[in-house]
Structure 1
Amino acid sequence: MALNTCGGMAKAARSAFCRCNPMAAERIHAYLEQDVERDTAPGPLFRSLRGTTTGAGITANGIYTVVEAYAKKAGIVVEHLGVHGLRATAATNALEHDADIAKVQMWLGHANISTTRLYDRRGQRPEDSPTFKVKY
């Protein structure tokens, strides 16, 4: 797999591949280089935090633990921090920077574009309210 391509398992045990931001690809490569315990066998990119199961992927709770620790380290305190919210943030960020919503839909793996629209939080910011578009 090319360095600028990310792959993994999607819903319903489908494999999925997408282009990877070059900066993210560099950081993933550095992560893989420093992981001296990793063998060359294929497996999950992010392994179990406890290391109890050889080659097992990180759990949803493990991802939450990592995100919570980094948020705390950065001084970010969010009540009911949800890891899935990062997905919506990434989608909104892409749309804010002129990504096509149909491409964001494919990136997120949504079958229906209405699901992608639920992830678009641009309209929830007070400064984006239509009231500020009215000219007097």
Structure 2
Amino acid sequence: MIPDRIVNAGVGFELPARVHTTTAAQLVRYAGAAHDFSGIHYDVDYARRRGFDGVIVHGFLKAAFLAQLGQDWVGSGAWYRNFGARYTGTDLVGAPIICRGRVTGLDEASGQVSLELWTENVDRRRTTTAIGTIQIGDSV
């Protein structure tokens, strides 16, 4: 059953934005957990040689920020039935990453909430987009 606060918010509701400002230490920890040791995520000279303006944030870490945004808004006891992300731009370590989302569907009978999620850089350019469906309670 979808809680009334979510049903009342309705399709089109924009989730409260969340801002993440990554640090070099956070990227190193994430690299260790994800086994992604590409120099573009920790070595500024290497990243620049590869055409970036500096050290860039892992795409999967940004996807995790988006998944967390949806999960936190829906609440405990809910889980993603599906989630997919597309990386359309880079974010530099230390620069704010603004996570936003909106409700695109509500299926009260099945207890599912569909979301469109995205990250924006300080120029408000989308750098990661995602869609997901969150199951509230038992699946049908």
TM-score range, shorter chain: under 0.3
Q: Highest Rg: 1 or 2?
A: 1
TM-score (norm 1): 0.24
Q: Which has the higher strand share?
A: 2
Structure with the largest fraction of helix: 1
Higher RCO, 1 vs 2 (CA within 8 Å, ≥6 residues apart): 2
